[in-house]
Amino acid sequence: MKLSELSIVELLRLNAETIEELRRREVLTTSNAILGDYAERLFRKAYGWIAAGNSARDFDATDTDDVKYLIKSHRTTRRNGSRQLGALRGIDERNFDILAAAPFNEDFSVLRGALIPFETVQQEASRVERTNSWRFMLRDHVWNLPGVIDCPRELKQAQKAPLC
């Protein structure tokens, strides 16, 4: 199949079928944020975290010590080089303990990974009044901040494991 020969509707249908198959394989949990669901799965697989469920507010997973992880990602492409993670909520209420962040390459391969303490997120994030959220840029200096754990190896191993 040559994607360049498919109509827009055919491409959209193929995308929908792909999403449904990824949901069937339990790689995705929703039909919306493919990259976000995928990053959550990789972190859970890499560290044995427990999914918080769709009803949990402002965090995505917990570990056996009840540490709460907010999992965010971004994908750098030829058209978008932004390092901005999705909107952060819950900073005012401290609804998570660690921000687990994963930047991906354009082909969805893991670029790096970081476990960032709440206090560091709080210091580095900037308020966005319009969306009632916080913005966090996953720039290179983040990995040098106090308490940040660089974890690309764990995520890349999880990505190579079955069902990923």
What is the reported pTM?
A: 0.84
Longest alpha-carbon distance in the chain = 52
Please give the residue that has the higher pLDDT: either 37 or 151: 151
Q: Are residues 24 and 51 in the same domain?
A: no
Total structural domains within the chain: 2
- If asked whether residues 143 and 92 sit together in one domain, one would say yes
Question: What percent of the chain has a predicted confidence (pLDDT) above 70?
Answer: 96
What average pLDDT score do residues 59-72 get? 96
pLDDT of amino acid 32: 55
- Return d(Cα 105, Cα 10) in angstroms, integer: 26
Residue 33 sits at the vertex; the CA angle it makes with 32 and 35, to the nearest 5 degrees, is 145
**3-class DSSP state of 160:** helix
User: For 81-120, how does the pLDDT look when each residue is reduced to its tens digit (9 = 90+)?
Assistant: 888 998 898 798 999 999 999 998 888 889 999 999 999 9
Specify whether 60 is located in the same domain as 101: yes
Q: What percent of the chain has pLDDT over 90?
A: 58
Is pLDDT larger for residue 145 or for residue 161? Answer: 145
11 and 56, same domain (yes or no):
no
What is the per-residue pLDDT across 129-145, written as a single tens digit (0 to 9) for each? 999 999 999 999 999 99
Q: What is the pLDDT of residue 38?
A: 86
pLDDT at 16 over 60: yes
- Whether residues 27 and 41 share a domain: the answer is no
User: If we measure between CA atoms, which residue out of 78, 77, 96 comes closest to residue 136?
Assistant: 96
Structure tokens at 111: 């670029």
Whether residues 40 and 66 fall in one domain? yes
Between CA 153 and CA 164 the distance in angstroms is 15
Whole-number average pLDDT of the chain: 89
Partners of residue 8 on adjacent β-strands: none
Here the CATH number for the domain that contains residue 126 is 3.40.210
C-alpha distance from residue 84 to each of 66, 87, 134, 140 (Å): 27, 9, 11, 12
Residues 80 and 129 in one domain: yes
Do both 113 and 128 map to the same domain? yes
